[in-house]
Structure 1
Amino acid sequence: MESKAPVLINAVPPYGHVIASEKWRNTSLIQHLKGGGVKIIFENELGVSDFHLPNKSCILYISECDIIAGNSYKRKLVRYRNAGSSFQELVLVENTRLSEQYFSAVQKFVLFDLGLTLLPVSGQTEASQLITQIVHGESRENPFKRRSSSRLLDPLVLALVQQVPGVGRVKALALLQHFSSIHQLCNAAPAELESIVGQAAAQQIHSFFHKPTTADN
């Protein structure tokens, strides 16, 4: 069933429901959610967000087409980060055969430059499965949070940290073992980094993470 009700941008849907941007109405993702017993409230006024979930998290969905089309997705991500939402802001990114070559750059921008939580999905089917788990509370632990906390062990993240000037595999592993989140690593003081990787590498890492962020590079 679909529900139509006036909602606010920061509205939290009731248990068993998802608030979805109107543009998703005829998509396979919505059909899969309905098949999983999720009730949909369509709304035109969600701002940049695509979905609101009952656990006070919101989702921005970056598709394969968004990534391949160029850098416009970066402007959308910056608006999403700057929207001032009280929700936990999540970014679902399609990592497919066509978008795979761009994924490291997307991951760096989302995790390191913007400090948001990124969840790779193979497509709308997997995305609907994740959302359904949250809505129905099928796991006592939020699977978004679980995947978020384990992302530091992701080989892609390890490879990404090694792209920072002055950081090889050994230093990357040391950093990821010391810091509990990407956000902590990005905001670490030079002195804290120095105790792990030495003075020269610490300065390079700090400079790398504090370069100005724009939506157009």
Structure 2
Amino acid sequence: METKAPDALDAGPPCGSVFVGDRWRRSPLTERLKGAGVKILFDSELGLADFYLPNRICIVYVSERDVVAGQDYKRKLVRYRNAGGRLQELVLVETTRLSEQHFAAVQRFVVLDLGLTLLPVGSQTDAAQLIAQIVHGEGRENPFARRSSSRLLDPLVLALVQQVPGVGKVKALALLQHFSSIRQLCNADAVELEAIVGHVVAQQIHSFFHEPTGPG
């Protein structure tokens, strides 16, 4: 990834720490991280990433302003995906009353077109809580590795699937127990989905992931 030298990426941030891009100095997110006991190491060489966490996890934060503005964040995410290499790339998307109308299109672009993991957050405070959770769980196996359906039952991924129209917690659990990856779920045909969630919801899920998103 066009962030830091390979040896720095391999080493990762020290225990309990996170590399943070300079633009986040004096931000509410950074202050919340400090309050959660995370050591902040500001770095001007993170490139496209906003945060670099233990377990080789990099994060780009897409703000409400980015979502509403349109295309710039998409170009950045394409470069981010292409430069990822051996890192696990996450995308945090700020979903507010102003930006929620765009969320479905953002989700399809990030998950379907780019194959990245998207996690919605309501604010920088929510993002800080999520990042702190990952950092404090650094001794455990990477919670975002895409290997099995059991890994997809992580609460954060469960919340993502529940963003699909017609999918509540019960149906989300059923889907994640059946499909081995988010991409496999996105690419499932209506017939396969119907066997799990019924005809009406299957059509809603299929339309959500396959209808054209249009410009912006």
Is TM > 0.5 for Structure 1 vs Structure 2?
yes
CA contact (8 A) 2:54 2:138 kept: no
Q: Kindly tell me: are residues 136 and 176 of structure 1, through their superposed partners in 2, closer, same or farther at Cα, counting changes over 3 Å?
A: closer
Give secondary structure in 1 for the equivalent of 2:164: helix
Larger Rg: 1
Query: Which amino acid is the alignment partner of residue 134 of structure 1?
Result: I
Q: Kindly tell me: are residues 174 and 20 of structure 1, through their superposed partners in 2, closer, same or farther at Cα, counting changes over 3 Å?
A: closer
Q: Distance in 1 between matches of 2:18 and 2:55?
A: 10
CA-CA distance at 1:97 after TM superposition: 0.9
Q: Distance in 1 between matches of 2:82 and 2:52?
A: 17
In structure 1, runs of 5+ residues without a counterpart are: 1-6, 161-169, 199-204
Equivalent in 157, 164, 180 of residue 157 of structure 1: 164
Correspondence for 2:98: 98
Correspondence for 1:167: none
CA-CA distance at 1:76 after TM superposition: 1.0
Query: Which amino acid is the alignment partner of residue 135 of structure 1?
Result: V
Q: Kindly tell me: are residues 140 and 74 of structure 1, through their superposed partners in 2, closer, same or farther at Cα, counting changes over 3 Å?
A: same
CA-CA distance at 1:173 after TM superposition: 11
Q: Please, what is the CA RMSD of the aligned residues?
A: 3.7
CA contact (8 A) 2:119 2:160 kept: no
Mapping of 1:130-169 within 5 angstroms? Answer: 130-137=130-137, 146-147=154-155, 149-151=157-159, 153-154=161-162, 156-158=163-165
CA-CA distance at 1:55 after TM superposition: 1.7
Correspondence for 1:184: 184
Give secondary structure in 2 for the equivalent of 1:14: coil
Q: Distance in 2 between matches of 1:195 and 1:123?
A: 37
Q: Distance in 2 between matches of 1:173 and 1:143?
A: 17
1:33 aligns with 2:30: no
Q: Kindly tell me: are residues 147 and 116 of structure 1, through their superposed partners in 2, closer, same or farther at Cα, counting changes over 3 Å?
A: farther
Task: Tell me the number of residue pairs that the alignment of Structure 1 and Structure 2 aligns.
Answer: 190
CA contact (8 A) 2:118 2:160 kept: no
Correspondence for 1:196: 192
Kindly provide the CA deviation profile for residues 45-89 of structure 1, in whole angstroms up to 9, marking residues without a partner as x: 112110000121110000001011122111111111111331110
Correspondence for 2:56: 56
CA contact (8 A) 1:66 1:72 kept: yes
Mapping of 1:95-134 within 5 angstroms? Answer: 95-134=95-134
Moved more, 29-38 or 179-188: 179-188
Give secondary structure in 1 for the equivalent of 2:84: coil
CA-CA distance at 1:194 after TM superposition: 8.6
1:65 aligns with 2:73: no
Correspondence for 1:8: 5
Kindly provide the CA deviation profile for residues 119-160 of structure 1, in whole angstroms up to 9, marking residues without a partner as x: 110111011111111112289576656145425641x23569
Q: Distance in 2 between matches of 1:177 and 1:130?
A: 23
Give secondary structure in 1 for the equivalent of 2:29: helix
Moved more, 98-107 or 145-154: 145-154
Mapping of 1:168-179 within 5 angstroms? Answer: 178-179=178-179
CA contact (8 A) 2:18 2:51 kept: yes
CA-CA distance at 1:8 after TM superposition: 2.8
